Amino acid sequence: MKISNLNRIYFNCTLSKGSIINLNEKYLHYLKNVLRLKINDQFRIFNGTEGEFIATIIDITKNNISINLSDFIRKPTTEVELTLGLCIIKPDKMIDAINMAVQLGVTKIIPLTSQRSQFKEVNNDRLLKCIIEATEQTERLSPPTLSTTKLLKRFNKEMNGIIIYANENESESNSLIKLGNLKSNISLIIGPEGGFSDEELSIFPLWDNTFSISLGSNILRTETAVATALAQIMLIRNMNI
């Protein structure tokens, strides 16, 4: 079987070639009952510190599953910082937006509350589960970090690099491509359904290195705006502009 055909599992503990690891019931259920793997079957196991390995199942008991890390596949590489400040939206749509953000290379996710946010809290466990599953699917090694929820008006306090916010009132000529080189650290803000308030739009220009950009003439849903903006950023980075 090709390595690329092996299932991937994220494991946030130390990994090393030749080591034997006992996985707990959470992994046991997934590997045995969902993936239906048996003794001598293989899968890939990874984290953002040691990298990715081939794991071979050597024992299955009622409470855990033992694996041997037989081969090293690849080590992590440094990712350029790409932070998503996402105003909280309906839970299912929040999951969709975060799933797409992980696929499109985001390295940090910050849920935000704004004046027009209809929802003020997130289910961190559910969001983390989505992040891990999307990381496993996309062949990434390092899952994005999930920050605690912050107020939109204080977003700039911890950011470095440039801040970009999607503004439906912005001229279409002020697009992401006009900003040129996007290979430095970037923080992207996407507003809630209903957009930013006038007060918030008056605050952004007061921040250092902050730019208003247009995502086109159409009014986009929040989760669509996330995918659109991030896809454009990744394209521009890959074009070496």
Q: How far apart are CA 92 and CA 130, in angstroms?
A: 11
pLDDT one-digit tens code per residue, 167-222:
988 888 888 888 877 878 999 999 998 899 999 999 999 999 999 999 988 888 99
Q: How far apart are CA 14 and CA 9, in angstroms?
A: 14
Alpha carbon dihedral 160, 206, 86, 181, in 10-degree steps, equals -50
Architecture in CATH for domain 3-74 = Beta Barrel (2.40)
DSSP annotation of 208 reads: T
Q: How far apart are CA 232 and CA 152, in angstroms?
A: 23
Q: Provide the H-helix boundaries in 62-211.
A: 91-103, 124-138, 198-203
Give the lowest-confidence range in 80-84, 115-119, 159-163.
159-163
Helices (H) and strands (E) in the chain, counts: 5, 12
Check if 3-74 and 82-238 are the same fold. Answer: no
Q: How far apart are CA 129 and CA 131, in angstroms?
A: 5
Percent of the chain at pLDDT exceeding 70: 99
Burial class (CB in 10 A: 0-12, 13-18, 19+), 97: buried
**What's the pLDDT at 71?**
93
DSSP annotation of 32 reads: I
For the domain made up of 82-238, the CATH class stated in words is alpha beta
The two tokens of residue 125 are: 């466990």
Q: 158: pLDDT confidence band, cut at 50, 70 and 90?
A: confident
* Cα dihedral 124, 125, 128, 130 sign: negative
- Which residue type occupies 109? I
**What's the pLDDT at 102?**
98
**Residue ranges of domains in the chain:** 3-74, 82-238
Q: 226: pLDDT confidence band, cut at 50, 70 and 90?
A: very high
Mean pLDDT on 115-121: 91
- The CA–CA distances, whole Å, from 36 to 22, 137, 142 equal 18, 18, 26
Q: What is the distance between the terminal CA atoms of the chain, rounded to a whole angstrom?
A: 39
